[in-house]
Structure 1
Amino acid sequence: MAMPMSNMAGPPPGVLPPAAIGTSGLQYLAQMNEVRINQQVEIAEVMTGIDMANRYQVLDGGNRLSYFVYEESECCNRVFCKENRGFIMHMMDNTNQEVLRMERVFRCCTGCCWFKSCGHILDITANGVPLGLVRQSQYCLQPKLTIENPSGQELYHIEGPMCVCHGPCCFADVPFNVFASGSSAEPVACISRVHAGCAQEMFSKANHFKIVYQQNLDLNSRALIFSATFLLDMMFFEHDK
C-alpha cells in the first residue's frame, strides 16, 4: 500500500529565493528558462544498497532552490521492480503545497520498446486537472518518447542519443532533445543528464539533470517537458551503475 502524503518528507520551509516568495503554484516555472533537477543522495541507500524513495531539489538558473519533488512508492515495488516500479512524484512549491503530480502505474510488461501497449506512460496532473502524458514510443536504437495532451494528441516528441552512457568516467552530458510535433528541425527544449561528480557517480545512483527551454513556451508545455525528466530518469538512469 502506498504511503500517505502525511508520512512523506516535504520540502524544507523558507528555502526559496526572494523572487519566488509569494509566487506559489507553477507560475515561477514560467520564469525559469533553465531548470536544474538534483536528486538527493540517500545515505541509507548507499549503505544498504536498498532503493529508497527518490527526492529532488529543483533549482533555477541562479542555483536557487525553487521547488522540491519527492517520490511516493511501495517499498516492495522499489526492491523487486527497481526502475520499472510504479510511482507518484509530488512537486511542492514554497508554501508546501503540491502543484504538480506525475504518476506511472506499475505494469508487469513495462519497458518493452517494441510494443506500444507495453511502453512506459507518465500521467501528469495539476490540482487534479489532467495536463497530459509522456509516453514511450516504439524505437530500435535511439530512445524516443512523445508528449501528448489529455486527448492523446501529440504535442512534442523527445529524441535521445543512441548511446545513453553515464557513470564516474562519462563526463559528457546525455541530451534528450524536445521537438514540436511533426518537426525535427530546431528543438524547443533540451533535457540533459549531467555529470554529478566522480564521488557521487561512483557511490550512489543519484542523478542530476538540466532543462533548457530554447523557445518561449506556455506554462503547460513547460510543466509537461519538466515532468518528462522523471520518466527519463527511471527509464535510463535509475539502474545500478
Structure 2
Amino acid sequence: MSKVGQTPTGQQVIIGQPGVHGMPMGQPAPVAWMPKPAKIPGCPQGLEYLTQIDQILVKQKVDLFEMVVGWEQENKYKLLNSVGQQVYSAKEESGVCERQCCQSNRGFTMHITDNADVEVIKLERKFRCWKNSCWCACCECCAHLIKVEAPVGTTVGYVQQKCSPCPPRFSLLDDDKDEVLSIEGPCCIIPCANVEFKVISPKTGAEVGKVTKQWSGMAKELFTNADNFGISFPMDLDVKMKATMLGACFLIDFMYFEKDSNDNSLL
C-alpha cells in the first residue's frame, strides 16, 4: 500500500512510485481510478460516474501475442476521464472460431466493469455477414446492431446502423427503440488523421457530441489493432444515452477500424 513520505528536500511523494524509494524503474505505476460517486436516485447502479463527465477516452490495450502471431485475441480496453483517471474497464467475450474466421464481423459480448470489478454495462452484438455496407442496412436483418444493458439484464438502449449510401449513419435508440440521437460519419476515412463521427439531435439537427477515432501514430496503426477513441457528449445528457454512446463507439471500432488478418491497409 502506498504511503506519503518526504524527500530529503522536503518534497512530498507517494512511496511506491517508479523511481521513488523502493519501486524499481520500469514497474508500472498504480492505476488512478476515478472516485466512486454517491448513489443517485433513478440512476442505474454503476452509471453514477457518467453524471460527472462530458467525455471519455477509450484506449484499447496492445496484445503482443496477437501482434506477433496474428492470432486474433479478445479485445480489452481502458476507459478514462478527461484528467486520465480510469472510469471503467472493458473486455470482449467472443468465440474463437468467429474471431479467426469472421474477425471484424464477429458477434461479441462486451463486459464493462468498474473499479470494484463489478459489471455495470453489457453490450451485445450479433454476427453480421456484411462488414460496413450501408446499402445492406436497408434490410433490418442485415443492419449492424448493439444492445446496451445497464445494469446487466436491463436494456437501456440500442445502436442500429441506418440505411444510407454515404456517409455511414447510425441511430441511438432508447429501450423502446425510439430514436433519441443519430450519428453521421465521414464519406471517406483519411489515413494519418483523426476521424470524426458526429452525434446529432434529430429534433434540431444540431451537433451535440462526437465519437472520434484518434490517430495513434504510424507504427501502432500499421502493426496493431489497438485503437484510441474519444467520446464527447453534453454533461446533462441522460446517463442511459451516454452508455448507449459507448456502445456506438465499440460498434464503429469493429466495423471500420478492426483490421482483418488479410487486410494490409492502414485501416
Q: For the residues of structure 2 that align with 1:112 and 1:98, how far apart are their CA atoms? A: 32
CA distances 1:183-225 after superposition (whole Å, capped 9, x unpaired): 32x2111110001122211210110000111452121111111
- Is the partner of 1:131 in helix, strand or coil? strand
Quickly say closer, same or farther: Cα 1:59–1:123, change in 2 above 3 A. same
RMSD: 1.9
Report whether the alignment pairs 1:201 with 2:221. Answer: yes
Match of residue 211 from structure 1: 231
Report whether the alignment pairs 1:119 with 2:140. Answer: no
Structure with more relative contact order (C-alpha pairs < 8 Å, separation 6 or more) = 1
Quickly say closer, same or farther: Cα 1:17–1:107, change in 2 above 3 A. closer
Aligned pair count reads 223
Structure 1 gap segments, 5+ residues each = 1-13
Contact 2:146/2:251 (CA < 8 Å) preserved in 1?
Answer: yes
Contact 1:116/1:137 (CA < 8 Å) preserved in 2?
Answer: no
Match of residue 86 from structure 2: 65
- Is the partner of 1:233 in helix, strand or coil? helix
Report whether the alignment pairs 1:15 with 2:23. Answer: no
Match of residue 161 from structure 1: 186
Report whether the alignment pairs 1:42 with 2:63. Answer: yes
Contact 1:15/1:94 (CA < 8 Å) preserved in 2?
Answer: no
User: Which segments of structure 1 move beyond 3 Å, counting only runs of 4 or more?
Assistant: 20-24, 107-112
Contact 1:36/1:211 (CA < 8 Å) preserved in 2?
Answer: yes
Quickly say closer, same or farther: Cα 1:218–1:140, change in 2 above 3 A. same
* Structure showing the higher helix proportion among its residues: 1
- Is the partner of 1:20 in helix, strand or coil? coil
Report whether the alignment pairs 1:133 with 2:153. Answer: no
CA distances 1:110-169 after superposition (whole Å, capped 9, x unpaired): 644222321100011112100110000011120100011122211111000111234xxx
Letter in 2 for 1:116: C
Match of residue 12 from structure 2: none
Structure 2 gap segments, 5+ residues each = 1-29, 40-44
Q: For the residues of structure 2 that align with 1:228 and 1:106, how far apart are their CA atoms? A: 16
Letter in 2 for 1:98: E
When the two structures are superposed, what TM-score results if normalisation uses the length of structure 2?
0.78
When the two structures are superposed, what TM-score results if normalisation uses the length of structure 1?
0.86
Letter in 1 for 2:75: N
